[in-house]
Structures are given as structure tokens and as C-alpha cells.
Amino acid sequence: MAGREVVIVEVGPRDGLQNETTPITTADKLALIGRLAEAGLSRIEATAFVSPRWVPQMADHEAVMRGITRRPGVVYSALVPNEKGAEAALAAGAQALAVFTAASESFCRKNTNCSIAESIARFRPVMRLAERAGVPVRGYVSCALDCPYEGEIAPDAVASVSAELLALGCSEIALSDTLGRGTPERTQAMVEATLRRAPAAMLAGHFHDTSGQAIANVEVAWRLGLRIFDGAVGGSGGCPYAPGAAGNLATERLVAHFEAKGISTGIDLAALERAGRWIGARLDMAAR
């Protein structure tokens, strides 16, 4: 990641595709991951080792992780819900793991069928497996600004869950505006509260663009010291357990924003845009 002033984490193959109702072939997923790596993405969340019953689009997680043509300097990660998922992901070659909880009790119960405390307890064996394998674990905090069931989330609730994940051993916390309703003012309050419990270097911004405020929220987080941001190529995706959540912030827009400011991302924007058009066309074909 030499020369990068900001690190972009590409979540399109997982968060971007997970909500697509029409099956996407494993070959297309692998081709997308290859195109993203060629464009210069250094971190790609390739798949999720979750139950196909709940997220059918991720049913081929093992085939995807094993089938990736590895590119030097690129870290290929997987989202995992528990120890079983972590074991399978590591066996398939995941170089990093991600776990997920929420700052909202209601959302956590809807999404994972347990409380926030119980979800974090489930991660302890994941952390032990990751430590033995020598791979880092990212922690997602969903509903960092709004919850579809509880409304606005208090900044201190986000800070508290983030601190718990760091204490557990997570190397990075992704503050996630799952519904994409966040404003710059509320983003600032949330990030500032979290910074009182965690260093900026261990925080990432994950913004959805439902209200068209994602770039403005990224800019606020950048000014407060965050240097890691998530994007999904083509702006695809959205959480299947968050009614009303639109697509993620498009990686193309994220890269263009920083490059326009003279901030290096290490990503070839033209190649990234080609990848976005390619997967958009494949999704259109699959939906016919």
C-alpha cells in the first residue's frame, strides 16, 4: 500500500452482490474480483461464509475464496458470523476476516438473532482462530447513525460497541451507516464520540448513499483523521436486513473524490470504471 494516502476497501463482491435476488455465477464473481485487483484495489472483501438459507447469493463462498487468482499485495477477506464460518473461511484461504454486530439492539436481534453482547461473545472463538492463523479481524458496527427499528442511534452507543470490539482484538472497526441516512453533522458527532474510545488509525468509514450524503460524510470523517473507507464498485448492494437501505457508496465516486483533492489512492480510476460497467452489464443480463 505504499504511496496510498487513503486506503479503499472494496466490498462490492460481498456487500454489493449479497442483496441481488438473481444468482450471479461464481465465474462472474471471480472475474469481478480479478478486475478489481487489476485496478489497484489492495483490500477486497470477496465473500461471506454465512448460511445460504439467509444469504443465498453467498452460497458459493468456498468456491469463490478458493478460486481467486491471488495477486501480490492484495488482501482477500471474508465476512464470517461465527467460529464455524471462520474455520471454513480460513481453510479456503481467507487472508483476513470480518465480523459484524450493531450499535442497535433491535437491529442486532433481527440480523443475528441475538443481543449485541451475545454477538460479541460469539466472536471470541473467531478471534482465537484468527490469532493462531495470523490474520487480522475487522469488526463492523452496523447502524452507526440510524436503525430501521429504533431511529437515530446515540453516538456513545457506537463508541461503546467499537471499544468492545477493539478490546476483543479487532484490528479495525468499520463505522457503518447502514441505512445511508446520515448527515455530515451527525457523522461528525458519531466519529468524534468514537475517537474518544479508539484511535483514528483503527477506524474505517462505511457509508451507504441512500440520501446522497455519503461523500459529504466521508469528507467529515477524513477531516477527523480517518484514512480507510469502504466502497462497492458500481454503487451496488445494501443490507438485506435493513429495509430502505440503498446501495453502498460507489468506489468510483470515492476514488474520484480523493483524487480530485490530490490524495493518492493507488487505484486506476479508468480501470475501476470499466469494472463497474462490466459488473453492471452482468447484473442486467442475470436479471433478464
Contact 204, 9 (CB under 8 A): yes
Q: Using CA atoms in the order 174, 5, 278, 62, what is the torsion angle rounded to 10 degrees? A: -50
Return the number of other C-beta atoms located less than 10 Å from residue 201's C-beta: 10
Question: Which amino acid is located at 21 in the chain?
Answer: T
Q: What is the DSSP letter of 25?
A: P
Cα 200 to Cα 229: distance, rounded to the nearest angstrom: 12
Q: Which three cell numbers stand for residue 96?
A: 483476513
Per the annotation, the verdict on 108 as an active-site residue is no
Catalytic residue among 143, 147, 170, 239: 239
Sign of the torsion formed by the C-alpha atoms of 148, 280, 172 and 254: negative
What percent of the residues of the chain are helix, what percent strand, and what percent coil, each to the nearest 5? 45, 20, 35
Encode burial over 42-55: b for 16+ CB neighbours within 10 A, e otherwise: bbbbbbbbbeeeeb
Q: Which residues are catalytic?
A: 239
